[in-house]
Structure 1
Amino acid sequence: MFGLLLVLHLLASISIIGPAVMMPMIRRSAKTMGQLHFVLRLTTKLAIMPKIGGTVLILTGIWLMVISKMGLSQMWLNVSILLSLLTIVMIDGWIEPRLKKIEKLLSEAQDQGNEIPAEFGLLIKKIVPVETAAQLLMIGILVLMVVKPF
C-alpha cells in the first residue's frame, strides 16, 4: 500500500511541476495574436492538471504521513508544506488573476490585427518574475522531498 501511495504522490507532483514549468515558456513563445490566443486557451485547459494533481498530492501526502507515523515531526516536511502553501498563494492569488485579466483584454482586442500589442507584452513580462519564483519554490520543495536534509 505504501508503495502505491508513493507512486501516486510522485505522479501527482509531476502533474503539477510539468505544467508549471512548461506553461510559462509556451506562453512566452507566442509571436502573433493568433498564437497568443491559442496558447492562452491551451494553458487554461491544462490548468486543471495541477489542480487535480495538487489535490491528489495533498491527500496522498497526508496518507503517507499517517501510514509512516511521521506526522509533522520532520523539519524538511514542515518547510515543504510551508513552501507549498506559498507557491499556491503565488499561483492562485497572483498569477492566475493577472492571466485572466490578460485573457479578457485579448478577447476585447481581437480586431487589432495580428501583432501583439505592447501592453500585452508588458503585462506578461510583469508575471515572469513571480512565475520564476514559483518554479524555484517547486524545485526547492522537490529537493526537500528527495534529500530530506533536516
Structure 2
Amino acid sequence: MIKWEGREWRLQLMSTLYQVLVVIHIFSAILGMGPGFILMTVVKGSKTMTELRHSHAIRHSLHIFVMIGGTLLLITGLIMGSINLNLFKMGWYVTSLGLFLAALAMGPLVLSPRSKPIKALLHSHQGDDIPEEYNRLSKELFRYESLENIIFLIIIALMILKPF
C-alpha cells in the first residue's frame, strides 16, 4: 500500500487531473472544431431548395457538436490555466485564449445576424429553385465563417507549436 505523505499526494492528484483535462481538451477539439471546418461544405453542393433545406438541417446538427466542443475547450483550457498559472505567462496560451474568445464572440455578433436572413429565406421561399438572394447572403456568411476557421487554425498551430 502506498503511503501518501505531505503535499506529494496533492501534487500527484493535480498532475493526474491535469492529464485528464488535456485528454478531454484534445477530444473536444476534434469533436467540436472538426465539424466546424466542414459546415460550409455541407451546403455548397445543393442544387435545389429541397437539397439546400436538408443540407442546412445537417449543418444545424453538426453545429451542436461545434457548440458543445467549443464550450468544453474553453472550460478545460481555463481549468488547466487555473491549475498551472504559468500558462497565463506564456504568449501562445494568452494569444490562443484571446483568439478563441474573439472567435466565440463572432457567433452572436457577426455570424448570427448574417444567418437569420438565410434561415428566413429557407423557410419562406416557394419553389425548388435556389434564389439568387440566397447565393448573395450565403457568400457573405461563408466569408466570415472562413475567417473564423482561419482563427481556429491559428489557435491549433499555437497549441501544437507553442512558439512563444
TM-score by length of 1: 0.91
Determine which structure has greater relative contact order: mean sequence separation of CA pairs < 8 Å that are 6+ residues apart, divided by chain length.
Answer: 1
Question: Could you list the per-position Cα deviations for residues 124-148 of structure 1 after superposition, in whole angstroms to 9, with x for gaps in the alignment?
Answer: 0111221111111000000001100
- How many residue pairs get aligned? The number is 148
Partner of residue 76, structure 1: 92
Q: Which runs of 5+ in 2 are unaligned?
A: 1-15
Hey, what does 1:104 align to over in structure 2?
120
Q: Does 1:133 align with 2:147?
A: yes
Q: Is the 8 A contact 1:33 1:114 kept in 2?
A: yes
Tell me the equivalent position of 1:12.
Answer: 28
- What RMSD over aligned residues (CA atoms) do the two structures have, in Å? 1.4
Do the aligned residues in 1 keep the contact of 2:42 with 2:58 (CA within 8 Å)?
A: no
User: 1:147 matched to which residue of 2?
Assistant: 161
Greater C-alpha radius of gyration: 2
Letter in 2 for 1:143: A
- SS of 2:46 mapped into structure 1: coil
Q: Report which stretch shifted further, 31-40 or 49-58.
A: 49-58
- Paired position in structure 1 for 2:66: 50
The alpha carbon displacement at 1:71 in A equals 4.2
The sequence identity of aligned pairs, in percent, is 30
Amino acid at match of 2:163: P
Q: Which amino acid aligns with 1:27?
A: V
Q: TM-score, normalised by structure 2?
A: 0.84
Aligned equivalents of 2:55 and 2:106: distance in 1?
A: 21
Structure 1 residue runs of 5 or longer lacking an equivalent are: none
C-alpha separation between the residues in 2 aligned to 1:97 and 1:39? 20
Is the contact between residue 102 and residue 120 of structure 1 (CA under 8 Å) also seen in structure 2? yes
- For residues 26-79 of structure 1, give each alpha carbon's deviation from its aligned partner in whole angstroms, at most 9, with x where no partner exists: 122211101110011111222221221122111211222223332411111111
Determine if the alignment matches structure 1 residue 118 to structure 2 residue 132.
yes
